[in-house]
Structure 1
Amino acid sequence: MSVIRTAIIGFGTAGRVFHAPLVAADPHYALSAIVTGSPERERAARHSYPQTDILADTDALFASAREFDLVVIASPNDSHAPLARAALEAGTHVVIDKPIAVTAAGAREITTAAREAGRVLTVFQNRRWDGDFLTLRDVIARGRLGEVRQFDSAFEWWQPDTGTGWKDLAGPDQGGGVLYDLGPHLIDQALQLFGEVTDIHAERDRRRPDSRSDDDSFLTLRHVSGVRTRLWMSTVAPAPRPRFRVSGSRAVFRSHGLDPQEAQSIAGRRPGETGFGLHDDGRAAVVEDPQGTQNVPLHAGDYREFYRRLAAALREGGPLPVDPNDSIRALEIIEEAIRQTR
């Protein structure tokens, strides 16, 4: 495989802000096609990627599937599993934007289908390459916090009115709501850091009168390792909590603000440009212990690593950037949270 001919289904936030810029920035890939049924998004795609074919629907894509090696599914959540099956049946490898599916059973079916088809299937858990998360992993690995006891992680913003996009209009059975939107990120990070979970407690609320799904949710997880995780996710937070607050036997780690890569991409900056992935204000995390507080420089976030690792997997048989079973486990936790709060 010389260059990985790639088609992206969907040109909303996931396709436009994340996948298309990352694929276009990596010399191992060719951004060969974008599928969108929206005239406005079609115009935006043609403007940003004039050498890329813009297709109106997936029928056109799968009719010419032999022209592609990889299909990236960046469409609404309830379409992930059906489109993944169609792509696998057409003979392509598949990237699914999180969540891998709406149900764990559906996710297991498509991973089985990928294995039987002899095709690669992976999940875009890009938050593994957030700069603050990379910094936290390094701090923990160096033992600066001692024995980690409590992991607090929050992903919150202020959007007091419901929007007109599918994330606000979809019900829980369609993968709508903040738990399906942000939970796959926060849960995946917790599992990556601290391993398997034995106990789950969930709270889900609809704070906006016209919300169809949860817009303010909370999870606590008890890990086999003994760490307790607390996860906040909200679209109605007038002011956010710290992004991370991690308590250990020796010190506490804190960081504030979301990784800048999404905002930078929306602003028109591109992966690989000078300063991409770093906060423009030069902010740092802090480690605080009884002797005082020390600033910890934040690593640069780098979502390009996902596609670098995928290229190695496709071309050389290297490990996947994300094992789909990790995403299935996170989805099982989400399903348990929903069961508790119906």
Structure 2
Amino acid sequence: MRIGLVGYGKGGRFFHAPLISSLPGATFVGVVTRSAERRQQLASEHPQAQTFDSLAQLVAAGVDAVVVSTPLEARPALVLEAIELGVAVVSDKPFALDAALAETMVLAAERRNVPLSVYQNRRWDSDFLTVRKLLGSRALGQVTRFESSVERYSPSSVGKGSGGGFLRDLGSHLVDQALQLFGPVLRVYAELDYRQPDQAYDNGFFMSLAHANGVVSHLRGSCLQDAPRPRFRVSGSEGCYTVEGLDGQEAQALAGLSPATAGERWGAEEHRRWGWFEHGAERERVASERGCWLAFYQSLQAALQGDGPLPVAARDALATTRVLDAARQSAEQGNVVYLSTPVGHGTKNE
């Protein structure tokens, strides 16, 4: 399988290229970038990969799929171009600035019968996989509250608009995970944080999602938080699971590692980073599942060979975008937004 990449910024360089180049049975064909600096980085890090001036040029070189990892504003046009060229396409997240644009891409792919997926790699985080396992075994009993937070102190991130603000960018991961675990959402309440009154893009958010199955999800993100909450706190009738910190795959990728170079160390969490199960006086460590971002590309590879579904359905990303639109509306109007029809996707833990 031949895979090409559009964009070699932080996302393309660290979160896509190392995985594509580690995928057994696949060829990392090359990257569309006109930046001399990024072309030099690519030549040093992936000398077998070519560089291209345009998406059309990359497709003409022969690819089975293209991955679009450019800034959000330019991404939908490139996704639509790939669809018109008839080549399977992966869009980075967030999928779109609003649900109308997301729906345009989904309908275009369906009309042309072109596979379209969205890179929600955090479905394969170690902590999220551990939560899924606990819910599957019903170790927590009847879950009532799901709390998911990614909070850091990174002032340099304030006001960055490449992902549409923190709600749109980071929130797309957290909403996707909540919908995967607990299914459709009936109503949304949200608050946005801004460092300056005239700031165009938010630097933090809080969302409350009321799921149709009765679970309430509280989702938070911030780049100005000195004392972060647990990454997950999942409360049920038979106990509570908490885990601190972020899945280690991001740090591994930013350190220049890949599944191919790290081997068995990739995605494996050291035992001191495992989470806790607590119920009354009972407290015990819960071994973390091994994270595996490469599974996204393995599933993509299988799907394009006719062996299973795409790793992330495009309509899942559309549902996530609709929830994010409702969250922004709620924050702007200061009220709860009721969705006319329940919005959700994925496996639901009733």
TM over 0.5: same fold? yes
CA contact (8 A) 2:146 2:215 kept: yes
Q: 2:337 corresponds to which residue? A: none
CA contact (8 A) 2:14 2:256 kept: no
The residue identity in structure 2 corresponding to 1:99 is P
Residue 224 in 1 paired to residue 195 in 2?
A: no
Which protein, 1 or 2, shows the higher relative CO under an 8 Å CA cutoff with sep ≥ 6? 2
Residue 69 in 1 paired to residue 61 in 2?
A: no
Corresponding residue SS for 1:68: coil
The residue identity in structure 2 corresponding to 1:333 is V
Residue 91 in 1 paired to residue 91 in 2?
A: no
Pairwise CA RMSD of aligned residues? 1.7
Instruction: State which of 300, 320, 325 in structure 2 corresponds to 1:335.
Output: 325
Corresponding residue SS for 2:305: helix
Deviation at 1:43, TM superposition (A): 1.1
Residue 104 in 1 paired to residue 104 in 2?
A: no
The residue identity in structure 1 corresponding to 2:97 is V
The residue identity in structure 1 corresponding to 2:38 is R
Q: 2:137 corresponds to which residue? A: 142
Instruction: State which of 24, 29, 41 in structure 2 corresponds to 1:27.
Output: 24
More displaced, 108-117 or 202-211?
Answer: 202-211
Q: Distance in 1 between matches of 2:317 and 2:16?
A: 18
Deviation at 1:37, TM superposition (A): 2.7
Q: 2:33 corresponds to which residue? A: 36
Overall identity of the aligned pairs, in %: 39
CA contact (8 A) 1:145 1:249 kept: yes
Deviation at 1:209, TM superposition (A): 7.1
Q: How does 1:1-342 map to 2 (within 5 A)?
A: 4-58=1-55, 60-61=57-58, 64=60, 67-162=62-157, 168-170=160-162, 175-207=163-195, 211-272=199-260, 273-280=263-270, 282-342=272-332
Q: Distance in 1 between matches of 2:97 and 2:188?
A: 19
Q: Alpha-carbon deviations, 1:3-31, whole Å to 9, x = none? A: x2111011112111111111110123211
Deviation at 1:341, TM superposition (A): 2.4
Q: Alpha-carbon deviations, 1:36-73, whole Å to 9, x = none? A: 232222211110111111124445435x2x61221101
CA contact (8 A) 2:97 2:164 kept: no
Equivalent residue pairs, number: 330
The structure-2 alpha-carbon separation of the partners of 1:123 and 1:240, relative to structure 1 and needing over 3 Å to count, comes to same
Q: Distance in 2 between matches of 1:209 and 1:255?
A: 34
Q: Distance in 2 between matches of 1:156 and 1:208?
A: 19
Q: Distance in 2 between matches of 1:169 and 1:198?
A: 29
Deviation at 1:291, TM superposition (A): 3.4
Deviation at 1:309, TM superposition (A): 0.8
Q: Distance in 2 between matches of 1:210 and 1:53?
A: 43
CA contact (8 A) 1:11 1:36 kept: yes
The residue identity in structure 2 corresponding to 1:292 is E
Q: Distance in 2 between matches of 1:107 and 1:322?
A: 14
Corresponding residue SS for 1:274: helix
Q: Alpha-carbon deviations, 1:307-340, whole Å to 9, x = none? A: 1111111012421111111111110011111122
Structure 1: where are the runs of 5+ without partners? none
Q: Distance in 2 between matches of 1:29 and 1:76?
A: 26
Q: Distance in 2 between matches of 1:6 and 1:326?
A: 23
The residue identity in structure 2 corresponding to 1:291 is A
Q: Alpha-carbon deviations, 1:95-129, whole Å to 9, x = none? A: 01112222211111212211222211111111100
Q: Distance in 2 between matches of 1:208 and 1:45?
A: 38
CA contact (8 A) 1:7 1:32 kept: yes
CA contact (8 A) 1:208 1:215 kept: no
The residue identity in structure 1 corresponding to 2:11 is A
Q: Distance in 1 between matches of 2:269 and 2:234?
A: 21
Q: Distance in 1 between matches of 2:267 and 2:152?
A: 20
Deviation at 1:202, TM superposition (A): 0.6
CA contact (8 A) 2:189 2:331 kept: no
The residue identity in structure 2 corresponding to 1:331 is T
Q: TM-score, normalised by structure 2?
A: 0.90
Q: Distance in 2 between matches of 1:265 and 1:211?
A: 31
The residue identity in structure 2 corresponding to 1:15 is G
Structure 2: where are the runs of 5+ without partners? 333-350
